[in-house]
Structure 1
Amino acid sequence: MSKSELIVMLTHNDYTVENAYDIFEACKDSKAKYWGFKDKGISIEEMKNLFAYMKQCGKTTFLEIVEYTEPECLEGARLAVDCGCDILMGTKFFPSVNEFCIKHNLKYMPFAGDITDRPSILKGNIEDIVNEAKFHSSHGVFGFDLLGYRYVGDPVELIHTFVTQLELPVCIAGSLDTYEKLDVIKAISPWAITVGSAFFDNKFEGTFSEQIDKVYDYIN
């Protein structure tokens, strides 16, 4: 069975924390190879500097955009390119955003399903969410950002159905804050998960770096 990657998100309640650079500096030698943050909370200059430093440290970098209109999503994609990050997560799927990402060799993982609010929640029928993603799969996206534990229905059924029916990488993002939820992840083995707020809320007990290694080891 394939293992899941851990993407450490330097975010709390869907906003990048002000001391993101310092936290990364303190935790850069932890086991996580994938790191990212959101489009809100720190300045663009700080974002560029942090992404550059992460890449200098050999990390794969992610920017997650929590926006829902086409202009805002396109602006988020431009921001990801300007910051030099590796993978754009989030945004609702728009052909214009997808084409921009392809043109600029930016891997694109849009949200799946009907997303609203911030922190985000996911609505919709599971079959519809899966079928929409299958349709977008044929347009060159790298994978999908699935807010499994922000789903208003049965999150386990959604995650299992989505991951087993999609052939592209799936990242389960948002509200992964208990070992019970990590057990679901271990059983289903999506490509990756994000954990952010749970580390800041000390849900896995320990220093930030200790929590990262605990979760990394647990899912692998």
Structure 2
Amino acid sequence: MNTPELIVMLTYNDSTVENAAQIFEECKNSKAKFWGFKEKPLPLAEMKELYAKMKSLGKTTFLEVVAYTEEEGLAGAKTALDCGCDILMGTIFSDKINQFCQENNLKYMPFVGQITGRPSVLEGSLEDMVAEAKEYLAKGVYGFDLLGYRYTGDAVALNKGFVEQVGAPVCLAGSIDSYQRLDEVKDANPWTFTIGSAFFDNQFDGSFAEQIDKVCDYIQQSS
């Protein structure tokens, strides 16, 4: 059994916070190994500097691109490459983005399902999302960015069914904001999951670093 890894997202309502670098500095010695943020609104120079700092401390880095056109997705992939990021999450899958990632050794985890808005809303059926995922896996993607708790249907059933049936790295991204949802994450057993806004809203009670460690410890405990 994999133990799901927390990706700390320095984001609020699907946008990177302006003081992301300061928060990372305060939390760099926390138990989280995986860190990321969104493609906007930080200037590229600040993004590069922050990712370089994360990498220098041995963190695995993620850029999540909330974009629904190929042009925006490709721009996000180029940003991830410019920043020396390990993994590109998000974007609506396109062959062009996939090819760019493969040519540049960038791991690609696109969205699945029908996604609209920012913060995002996910629609579609489990069967369609699994079929979509298998098609993309055949084209060489690394894994998937599943917006499970943004789903208009049964999120718990979607998360568990998708992870079980896809057999590739899955990140459950968005709106994980309670211990009940952490229990559901453990049960679904994805590769990773993200928390951003919930830490800023103090949903896990403590300083930012204390909340990170609480979530890491809780996930490590046996279900």
- What is the aligned partner in structure 1 of residue 81 from structure 2? 81
The percent of aligned pairs where both chains have the same amino acid is 63
Bigger drift between 124-133 and 54-63 goes to: 124-133
Deviations 1:15-67 (A, max 9, x none): 00000000000000000000000001211110000000000011000000000
CA distance in 2, matches of 1:152, 1:137: 25
Matches within 5 A, 1:90-129: 90-129=90-129
- Cα offset, 1:186, TM superposition: 1.0
Q: Indicate whether 1:161 and 2:161 are aligned.
A: yes
CA distance in 2, matches of 1:107, 1:205: 33
2:193 alignment partner, SS class: strand
- What is the aligned partner in structure 1 of residue 48 from structure 2? 48
- Cα offset, 1:136, TM superposition: 0.7
Letter in 1 for 2:84: G
CA distance in 1, matches of 2:127, 2:200: 34
Deviations 1:98-117 (A, max 9, x none): 00000000000000111110
CA distance in 2, matches of 1:190, 1:64: 17
Number of residue equivalences:
220
- What is the aligned partner in structure 1 of residue 16 from structure 2? 16
1:127 alignment partner, SS class: helix
Q: Indicate whether 1:214 and 2:217 are aligned.
A: no
What 5-or-longer segments of structure 2 have no aligned partner? Answer: none
CA distance in 2, matches of 1:219, 1:150: 21
- What is the aligned partner in structure 1 of residue 148 from structure 2? 148
CA distance in 2, matches of 1:58, 1:204: 25
**Does the aligned pair in 1 maintain the 2:36–2:64 contact within 8 Å?**
yes
CA distance in 1, matches of 2:51, 2:186: 29
Q: Indicate whether 1:205 and 2:205 are aligned.
A: yes
- Cα offset, 1:120, TM superposition: 0.6
- Cα offset, 1:219, TM superposition: 1.1
Deviations 1:116-171 (A, max 9, x none): 10001100111111111111111111100000000000000100110000111000
- What is the aligned partner in structure 1 of residue 63 from structure 2? 63
**Does the aligned pair in 1 maintain the 2:160–2:189 contact within 8 Å?**
no
What 5-or-longer segments of structure 1 have no aligned partner? Answer: none
1:186 alignment partner, SS class: helix
CA distance in 2, matches of 1:175, 1:8: 13
Deviations 1:1-22 (A, max 9, x none): 2200100000000000000000
- What is the aligned partner in structure 1 of residue 32 from structure 2? 32
- Cα offset, 1:188, TM superposition: 1.8
CA distance in 1, matches of 2:119, 2:188: 25
TM-score, normalised by the number of residues in structure 1 = 0.99
- What is the aligned partner in structure 2 of residue 175 from structure 1? 175
